[in-house]
Copies of this chain bind each other. A is one copy, B any other.
């Protein structure tokens, strides 16, 4: 039994595992999840595919480990929730969603994982969705609900459509046409149109809360 890990030598299990995980990331960004074949991954990692079975137990386990080591949400949501929120999270949520719109646009790997989640049943992907839900629920419980009261359900519906909408719009940008409702989603002006719409919707939703209170 070894007591310390060897990090300098050429033969290194942990380093090799990372190579496989990196290869998965590269392939998913370039070819999509349908390109995730053992032979392909091994070739990309420049290692023998046998090691995938030895280190991870198989292709499925490797993919699951890849999904679990991802940490997209912490980069987007709740990375820096301000300590004092006095407007029911209006400025925070507006900023968060418009930034997320751009984040998803430029992060191809995240896009592919989203698409993967829509396409294939996989426990690790389901877990990812649940974690996202849990992270969002914190926001609803502590910031939205206190401010919106009975209108929280309306807020949930609006938020669901906006989040789902910005996901889909960015996914549809990549293939089979970049125009959606006459808006060019790859152009600066087009993307600003979407951001303006997000701001408008949130504005009106927060106004509604003011009126009802």
Choose the segment among A12-20, A50-58, A151-159 that binds chain B (4+ C-beta atoms closer than 8 Å): A151-159
Report if A171-B130 is in contact (Cβ < 8 Å); known contacts: A160-B197, A176-B125.
no
Cβ of A168 under 8 Å from chain B: yes
Whether A164 contacts B180 in the complex (CB less than 8 A), given A118-B115, A153-B193, comes out as yes
In the complex, A66 has a CB within 8 A of chain B: no
Which listed residue, B119, B167, B177, touches A168 by the CB 8 Å rule?
B167
B120 touches A175 (CB 8 A): yes
Is there contact, CB below 8 Å, between B161 and A197?
yes
Task: Chain B residues near A118: list those with CB within 8 A.
Answer: 115, 118, 168, 171-172, 174-176
**Residues of chain A at interface, number, CB under 8 A:** 55
How often does this chain occur in the complex, in copies? 2
Nearest B residue (CB) for A176: B126
Q: Which residues of B are found within 8 Å of A137, using beta-carbon distances?
A: 182
Expressed in whole angstroms, the Cα–Cα distance for A125 and B177 within the complex equals: 9
B136 touches A182 (CB 8 A): yes
In the complex, chain B residues whose CB is within 8 Å of the CB of A156: 181-183, 193
Minimum distance in angstroms from A157 CB to a CB of chain B: 3
A201 within 8 A of B: yes
Give the docked Cα–Cα distance between A39 and B119 (Å). Answer: 22
Contacts of A166 in B (CB 8 A): 161, 164
